């Protein structure tokens, strides 16, 4: 099995797409940081987000491990694959408030509803009428 690597051009495209989606989706209260590194979880990209400080670290994997629809054949990173990875990680950012509050041991109904409402308001502005 071949090992495919992402390039500096892939990394720039990943960052550009994440920043574009940040503006498009109105996530302007978040600061995005980026890195290109080997990821332990065999993912092509991942995100760590802090809902309190509104910071997120988006990582693009150095080793690209994408598979085809059968799940068994590796292929090289493509422009569309990089864009898909960026979009996927940014959807995690869109739901970060809900994830972070859900990770707490005790959550009040009010805390939960505020997180759900924040996401609903975002989606209200994004989805076509």
Residues 73 and 126 both lie in one domain: no
β-pair partners for 50: 55
Residues 15 and 72 both lie in one domain: yes
What string of DSSP letters covers 77-100? --HHHHHHHHHHHHHHHHTHHHHH
Each residue of 13-49: pLDDT tens digit?
999 999 999 999 889 999 999 999 998 777 899 999 9
Residues 38 and 74 both lie in one domain: yes
Q: Chain-centre distance of CA 89, in angstroms?
A: 1
Residues 114 and 88 both lie in one domain: no
Domain carrying residue 119: 95-129
| Token duo for residue 69 | 């629809």
Strands (E), 38-85: 45-50, 55-61, 63-64
Angstrom distance (rounded) from CA 63 to CA 45: 10
Residues 80 and 17 both lie in one domain: yes
| Token duo for residue 93 | 């950012």
Q: What is the value of pTM for the model shown?
A: 0.80
Each residue of 67-120: pLDDT tens digit?
545 555 557 888 998 998 999 999 999 889 887 777 777 878 888 788 778 877
Residues 82 and 39 both lie in one domain: yes
Angstrom distance (rounded) from CA 110 to CA 118: 12
């Amino acid at each position: 099995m071949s090992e495919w690597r992402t390039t500096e051009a892939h990394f720039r495209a990943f960052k550009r797409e994440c920043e574009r989606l940040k503006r498009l989706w109105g996530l302007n209260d978040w600061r995005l940081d980026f890195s290109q590194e080997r990821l332990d979880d065999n993912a092509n990209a991942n995100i760590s987000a802090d809902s309190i400080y509104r910071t997120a670290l988006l990582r693009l994997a150095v080793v690209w491990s994408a598979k085809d629809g059968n799940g068994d054949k590796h292929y090289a990173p493509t422009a569309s694959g990089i864009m898909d990875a960026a979009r996927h990680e940014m959807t995690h950012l869109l739901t970060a408030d809900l994830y972070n509050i859900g990770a707490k041991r005790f959550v009040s109904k009010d805390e939960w509803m505020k997180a759900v409402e924040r996401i609903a308001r975002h989606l209200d502005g994004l989805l076509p009428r």
